Structure 1
Amino acid sequence: MSGPIWIPPGTHIDHAATLLVEAARASADGEAWATFNGIDIRACGSSDSAEIVRQWRAESDRQDEAYRQSPEGRAAAARSAAEVEELQERHDALVHELASIHPADHVALLDWLCRLQPCSDRVGVRVDSDTIVKVLEQAGYRANANVGPAYRPDDRENVFRYLVGQALDGLKNGPAIHPILLKFAAEWRERFEAPLPRSLGRWG
């Protein structure tokens, strides 16, 4: 048997199994093998690609379960649970804090969204998207505001509403507020930050 065949990065296991069977049929000895996500898969000319996939999934599941039951896996699970708990507490505090932020305070609102981002982007955290979206929309913000031709990069409020709109889209349509918000918000603050006059009133 010759060396392993090359499986292009990003290939799905179903397609990888098909490639493997085709390589086996084309090889001189009628056999082929490859490594897919750290697991060796093998085929001969008469192999069924579906059976190769089944065997790979079974071995992948076996390795995953072995890791979960290992000391390292149990420690990782404990760390993950603690992280989710901490982010949930942070999220809950942020939702409570939102009512105290003036809707016209661009700096404070953008900072709040940046602090919410990691909470929204963590599996296991229950994000109260409905409440957050309702509060922001009642204040006049809209998902995907100022995209395309409406975007004016030299206009402070235009860019701000674009950033809020991107965060709103992540909350409304999922899966989360994109972490690129942190970079764009930092650039916005560096370029535009200045005190804003505060009108009377709060959210709603």
Structure 2
Amino acid sequence: MTTVLIADDQPLQRFGFRMLLESQDDMTVVGEAADGAEATRMTAQLRPDVVLMDVRMPGLDGIAATRRIVADGGPSRVLILTTFDLDEYAYSGLRAGASGFLVKDAQPEELLSGIRAVATGDAVVAPSLTRRLLDAYVHHLPATAEPAGSADSPDPRLSPLTERETEILRVMGQGWTNTEIAERFHLAESTVKTHVGRILAKTGSRDRVQAVILAYETKLVG
């Protein structure tokens, strides 16, 4: 049973999420928080599998709350909810350690599958939104003295990767799904999953979202 904490300052929104989640046999809502501070406290107490986190809330916002939850080192994983026009803080949420993001007006099945994916340790990276989000906020990345992806000064974080793994990380950064990667490189999807797992392990990326951010930070894409 996947346990979920809903953090949103709008009571009607929380009610809608609760009704949807509790209609599922494999999910239960363990609590509701109206702001980031309450979400942080309740996460520490209840240890839900997933925190459904709104970004814009009064007081402590969803980004700061995500940062605190991740820093706490508990088992809870955060799924950020952003507005359709890509909330200006969503990129910061991913940097803070969130396991993914979804738009608030996503189809119910998208939200449910996203929660299930995050609960099992995967990340939710919607390809259609990933590129737009990272393109919009790539200028927030720290400047480097030399192009990280140049032949004479490769970024040391990429040095453990094989040539194939580097190529796969590049297309991950472009928002490609495992299925699309498998088709492009003529690989079985299970082989792609193995490569992705090795990329995460070798680069120390918490999940796929962090690997995508790494691809931008190292100028592998951009």
TM over 0.5: no
- Higher share of residues assigned strand: 2
Provide TM-score, normalisation by structure 2: 0.24
